[in-house]
Structure 1
């Protein structure tokens, strides 16, 4: 969760009944069997007898054999994630790097103390000392939108966020691929910071990776729905976290909500992009989200600086 700093400045679905006007949803190898499960690589409908478990979802026998009958161009049969990213041998790599950065910054904050914390915190416009110069995002220090998302002060704070990253991260990294997963994480982190900057008191400082973590929550909900798994576990977990978000006074709900919305939007574009223009839609969505974040920053800055 994102804490507000206390300083002054700061499952398989049951097949639907179909009428004569609705095309059959049947397994491509067994036309007499209705199904709602699709191969995560070629999107063919597959029945339980044809489902082969993969790192994310299920694949059809032809994709597992590396056959060429998917209708793609030569070379397109290389193993791909659900979102079209390259399949990596280590689906924990980016998650481990993010964990390492967060923990390294936490140790540095413990060692250096307030001087470093003051440089990393997110606040819109405040003074470093009682009569010092104005500092903050409004003064051009946009880096705070990201550095604050890697900074923590309490053990329980960094522990809870890193536990969530450890649980959610590898699953999303395997489904999206490294580059797409990293873009999701960073844009969610910035999205949470931007909403906090736009809505919060500019002198109220905050820090924590919760914007990014809630982005992973939103992305996981989208992924579970795309794979047609049981939505209840992720929805219950998300509901419990949102209850804490809006009932604990020291939590920056703005960062949580901002990250959640950005993560869900980007994940939807990642896993629902049409196969023919997949990369264009996916990276276009990331660019559009980033552009909206920049516009919000500029408008809020103009208001604060008058």
Structure 2
């Protein structure tokens, strides 16, 4: 807030660059602009003007996340967007048949394609033969449906499944984004989801289908553990949640993809380690280069798995 005008300054006398009606002999130590007492900001040496202080604060530590990158203005935003995407996909599947939805068949992760003639059974028949009989072929990664590596992470069929996973994302997502920033948080989430899908391809039945964000969520939990350990923070509540997740996975192993949970957790740990332990001198290069390399390795493993199914 400025004070009322005190009359025009004398001719030839310096005036504040923000308040031309005020005489002043004080200048900003950075830009040398004349500043009045109301515009003076304490600096390490002398005073600075508001513009220089604002410019300096853009690159200051207070606006940086713990391991580089910009601190999120609202650490909940990315999680809300992810929750919204998952909810929309679930609604689309529910509106197109639920467990019998063709959309679910396209988005779910499946290693080997199957033929669905509509009699309630699935058959391991080539696509050409399947479609020649008028049946529906369910595509898989080995048929070129590589999008399922990612889309399956955003796909849920049962309402209890999407509700539980989104509640976990609501809890863990903002906590991790508040530590590492928005871009790195999203990278960890996607890498964890991809790692989850890849381990499912290797260790699950090639004729089964897998859906759900659980793998990516285990990745967030693993990333939080790494970040907490690096910062020497109390991680007891994280270990408790990990233990609960392991118990649920073991108890429900017939219905729950332990392969996806394990793959996501390992992916999150690796991604977070690259972010948290990258040397400060080359932090962005090591972080993003490392994450890109991990992604390429996971895609390479997928290609390897596909070659064994062909």
Could you state the TM-score of these two structures normalised by the residue count of structure 2?
0.72
Q: Deviations over 1:183-226 (max 9, x none)?
A: 11111111101110122111101100011101001011112212
Among candidates 208, 212, 221, match of residue 212 of structure 2: 208
1:118 aligns to 2:101 (yes or no)? no
Structure with more contact order per residue of length (Cα contacts < 8 Å, sep ≥ 6)? 1
| Residue of structure 1 in register with 2:60 after alignment | 77
In the alignment, structure 1 segments of 5+ residues that lack a partner are 1-64, 69-73
1:13-32 correspondence runs (5 A)? none
Alpha-carbon shift at residue 66 of structure 1 (Å): 9.6
1:1-306 correspondence runs (5 A)? 76-77=59-60, 79-113=63-97, 114-130=101-117, 132=130, 133=137, 135-248=139-252, 249-305=254-310
Q: Is the 8 A contact 1:67 1:77 kept in 2?
A: no
Q: Is the 8 A contact 2:200 2:259 kept in 1?
A: yes
Alpha-carbon shift at residue 76 of structure 1 (Å): 4.1
CA distance in 2, matches of 1:192, 1:257: 7
CA distance in 1, matches of 2:304, 2:191: 19
CA distance in 1, matches of 2:220, 2:245: 13
Alpha-carbon shift at residue 258 of structure 1 (Å): 0.5
| Residue of structure 1 in register with 2:37 after alignment | none
Alpha-carbon shift at residue 128 of structure 1 (Å): 3.7
In the alignment, structure 2 segments of 5+ residues that lack a partner are 1-41, 46-55, 118-124, 131-136
Q: Is the 8 A contact 2:65 2:71 kept in 1?
A: yes
Higher Cα Rg, which structure: 2
Q: Identify, as 1 or 2, the structure richer in helix.
A: 2
